[in-house]
Amino acid sequence: MNRQLKVLFIGTYVPKECGIATFTSDLLNSVSEKYNDVHCEVIALNDSSETYNYPEEVVFQIERDKLEDYYRAADYINKSDARIVCLQHEFGLFGGNAGDYIFALLSGINKPVISTMHTVIREPEPDYRASTEKLIRYSEKLVVMSQTAVDMLKDVYKAPEDKIEIIFHGVPDYPFNNCGKYKKMLNLKGSPLVLTFGLLSKNKGIESVLNALPDVVNQYPDLIYLVLGATHPMVKKTQGEVYRQYLKNKVSELGLENNVVFHDKFVEKEELCNYILASDMYVSPYLSREQIVSGALTYAMGMGKAIVSTPYWYAQEMLSDNRGLLVDFGDTDSFKKSLLYLIENPEECDNMRKKAYDFGRKMTWKNVGKEYNNVFLKALKNHSAYPRTPNRFNFLPNQLPEAKLDYLKLLTDDVGVMQHTNLGVPARHHGYSTDDMGRALVALTQLIDNQKKAEEFWRLITTYMSFLEHAQTNTGHFHNFMNYKREFLDEKGSEDTLGRAIYGLGHVVSCPYLSKNIRTLAHTLISKSRHEMKNVSYPRAKAYTMCGLYEILRAGIGADEFESVFNSSRDAVKPIDTLVDKDTFECIFTSHANFLVDLYEANHKEDWNWFEPTVTYSNAKLSESLLLAYNYTKNRTYREIGLATLDFLTEIQWKGDFFDIVGNQGWYSYKGEKPIFDQQPIEAGYLTQAYVSAYEIVREEKYLELAKYSFEYFLGRNRLQAPMYDYSTGAVCDGLNVDGMNSNQGAESVICFLMALSSLNKHTNKAFNTTLQSRLSNELDDGAMQKRKSLLSVNQVE
């Protein structure tokens, strides 16, 4: 509590022409000017078409309807040294239903939030009720500006009383005065001068005053009614100047051209105060009772004006005890009588002004700033004593789900697994891909731990094997895409396609529960690809190939194991197809590993522990392949680079309680900005596999814990707290987009889920019984990456 208090305000901000922007600026100044040890900064909200030259205290900007900006703002707040967040809440400030985009920000931070509520609705629609209840839940303190708002929060929304603070809307501190000095300064006429000010919209009810004026000006022809303010920007955007023109037409109809003046301008605070001080009376003819606060009415009271107002909630409370006159909504006759009463009873009028002014001393910005500062300190103390660290992921299960193949079977026909779906229904026009067949073989073979399961999966495995055998070209490469008419659509697939095929076939070869015939066929297809495998140049293709070959090498399976089956198969005996021995596979395997080492050495930097200048797709597979290379060769260079790059992926994606996967909207380049969306579940699946491999190789328990958390990405441990896995069907959504989940459920997503599940399944009990998160967080924060980097000079074989 002794160090400087840093407050981060969220709201619209000057020079934006908006009442809340002015309020935020005044509040910031009142807090920072009063206390030298308080430092204030601002996150400003804009519409998409707006660009402002903000003052230096604005450190971050949110585009109102851009959900991703709210997530980025949360990240900014978490990294900043701000200790308090002060939110200006008005539903229309934020995008989404009832302004619910703001909860993408609030749900992602763990700093005390003080919410100033500029609107509270007594009879809310469901969206507005839900939004208000969320705001109450995420706020340490709720600041409202009237007792009416306090009562509504408690009665309607059941807000805890100890969360609610009442602090009046602030006003500038001017001495009680007569109007002549300011009329002269502004060259204004009017005896009396009646004022209504604020952004113009239909809810202002100005026509009620206009209808009352003819009888008044008949008796007092020097009266001027000044309507000060520009049309509300949102009204102007959608409706233009329809309301202003309606009012002008009414002035003409009533013959009030000499008595009504429109100043169509947004005035800065100092000029606005001069206009208020120049006026004799202030009229607030709002048409809606549900007005919980009015800055205009507050300013008029604080400057000692005689006030006539409709009885909206705020006015009823503020103008009690004869601090102003209340007239019914749209009651022309009452407006006329009230104006005449004030003009004709100057002593009563002056008494009313003094009462309003005296009450307004409680509301000067100096006092308001002091009260906010007290609330900040109370909230900070309470937050420190009882830190609000709710488990955002308390809906997660305490055990792994069972491997459910219903959905994979739904996608699989007698050709193979269909690539894509339309909202969970197989989309046949997208056809099939070798990529999916290879990965599906990995998932299925990893799930087989006994002969019964091998028999259960036999049909799926033989179907996928049949597809790969058909997809292989004469050179040993593979076609990738096949349409629903069983026609291949390419001459050959990408190098990644080749690698993914080898990845799956290697797992088939090494699975002891499968028949020797199908394992021999897998070995044969890999052998046929030996020249293509040697010549791949893309890093991920090499990594996939290594993962497939590792399965054969680690199991010590040589060509001789399959020779008898191979030789008895008349169709398989072709010179090009002779089975390749283990030494050839080993040569390709180490060559690819050395390539990845060289790639890392060429691209990594002190603050960029990665193989390339950009983190793109299938990232963890690169790290895992080197870890597997170490496990086979015991070359420590492979191990250290594998761990260093895996730790780097953790560093840039682990948020302390969930993984924030690098999105594919532009990828993540060195010195660039990490894209948040679209996040692909394949990355979480590959991370899980890589962490499990790291744990099995180096036995550091943090990797097992990370594997659990990366797997739980599918179950809802993600930025959107959105479960992607459907327990009833076994389907998995295709990604996280800025506006929510991608509800399509393609083959890649469910296959990668099953791959991750099968990897983690081997360590289920240990993963779910350890409680390493706090230790994990500390380890990741205390320089683990530096430790890895210091070991990279070691290049020896154990």
DSSP string, 510-563: H-TTS-HHHHHHHHHHHHHTHHHHHH--SHHHHHHHHHHHHHHHHTT--GGGGH
Cβ neighbours for 758, distance < 8 A, ≥ 6 positions apart: 403, 443, 446, 447
User: In this structure, what DSSP letter does residue 85 have?
Assistant: E
Q: Which pLDDT score is estimated for 165? A: 97
Q: Which pLDDT score is estimated for 796? A: 34
Mean pLDDT, 10 residues at a time, the chain of 798 residues: 78 92 95 81 92 95 91 89 96 94 89 95 94 95 96 96 95 88 90 93 93 96 95 85 94 96 89 94 93 92 96 95 95 96 95 95 94 92 63 79 93 95 90 97 95 94 97 96 95 96 97 94 95 96 98 84 64 56 93 98 96 96 98 97 98 93 91 91 97 96 95 93 90 89 91 96 70 48 47 40
Residue 247 token pair: 């009012």
Evaluated on CA atoms 261, 267, 271, 273, the torsion sign reads positive
Q: Which pLDDT score is estimated for 75? A: 85
Residue 477 token pair: 């490469």
User: In this structure, what DSSP letter does residue 230 have?
Assistant: P
End-to-end CA distance of the chain: 53
Taken as a whole, the chain contains a residue count of: 798
Q: Could you give phi then psi for residue 435, rounded to 5 degrees?
A: -50, -50
Tell me how far apart the alpha carbons of residues 72 and 326 are, in angstroms, rounded to a whole number.
46
Stretch (H or E) spanning 194? strand 193-197
C-alpha triplet 572, 573, 575: angle, nearest 5°: 120
Instruction: Name the one residue in this structure whose structure tokens are 């398989």.
Output: 572
C-alpha triplet 227, 228, 229: angle, nearest 5°: 125
Q: Which pLDDT score is estimated for 567? A: 61
SS3 state of residue 24: helix
Bridge-based pairing of strands 481-482 and 432-433 is antiparallel
Cβ neighbours for 177, distance < 8 A, ≥ 6 positions apart: 277, 304
SS3 state of residue 388: coil
Q: Which pLDDT score is estimated for 790? A: 45
Q: Where are the alpha helices (DSSP H) in 654-700?
A: 681-698
Cβ neighbours for 67, distance < 8 A, ≥ 6 positions apart: 95, 96, 101, 104, 738, 739
Q: Residue 120: left (phi > 0), alpha (psi -120 to 50), or beta?
A: beta
Tell me how far apart the alpha carbons of residues 199 and 152 are, in angstroms, rounded to a whole number.
26
SS3 state of residue 725: strand
Tell me how far apart the alpha carbons of residues 346 and 220 are, in angstroms, rounded to a whole number.
14
Peptide bond into 192 cis (omega under 30): yes
Q: Residue 56: left (phi > 0), alpha (psi -120 to 50), or beta?
A: alpha
Q: Count other Cβ atoms within 10 Å, centred on residue 775.
A: 13
Residue 394 token pair: 């308390």
Residue 270 token pair: 């100092």
Tell me how far apart the alpha carbons of residues 563 and 565 are, in angstroms, rounded to a whole number.
6
Q: Are the CB atoms for 305 and 326 separated by under 8 Å?
A: no
CA Rg value for the chain: 35
Greatest C-alpha distance within the chain: 118
Tell me how far apart the alpha carbons of residues 262 and 90 are, in angstroms, rounded to a whole number.
28
Q: Which pLDDT score is estimated for 555? A: 86
Q: Which pLDDT score is estimated for 791? A: 44
Of the candidates 91, 133, 90, 143, the one whose C-alpha atom is nearest the C-alpha of residue 112 is 143
Whole-structure pTM over 0.75, yes or no? no
Of the candidates 493, 369, 502, the one whose C-alpha atom is nearest the C-alpha of residue 441 is 502
Of the candidates 469, 375, 442, the one whose C-alpha atom is nearest the C-alpha of residue 757 is 442
Bridge-based pairing of strands 325-326 and 164-166 is unpaired
Residue 685 token pair: 């699946």
Tell me how far apart the alpha carbons of residues 723 and 80 are, in angstroms, rounded to a whole number.
29
Give the residues across from 194 on adjacent strands: 225, 281
User: In this structure, what DSSP letter does residue 4 have?
Assistant: P
What DSSP string runs through 668-680? Answer: EETTSPPP---B-
Cβ neighbours for 40, distance < 8 A, ≥ 6 positions apart: 6, 7, 8, 9, 28, 31, 32, 57
Tell me how far apart the alpha carbons of residues 113 and 652 are, in angstroms, rounded to a whole number.
26
In three state form, how does the secondary structure of 316-364 look?
A: HHHCCCCCCEECCCCCHHHHHHHHHHHHHCHHHHHHHHHHHHHHHHHHE
Q: Which pLDDT score is estimated for 787? A: 46
Q: Which pLDDT score is estimated for 269? A: 84
- Fill in the amino acid letter for 677: F
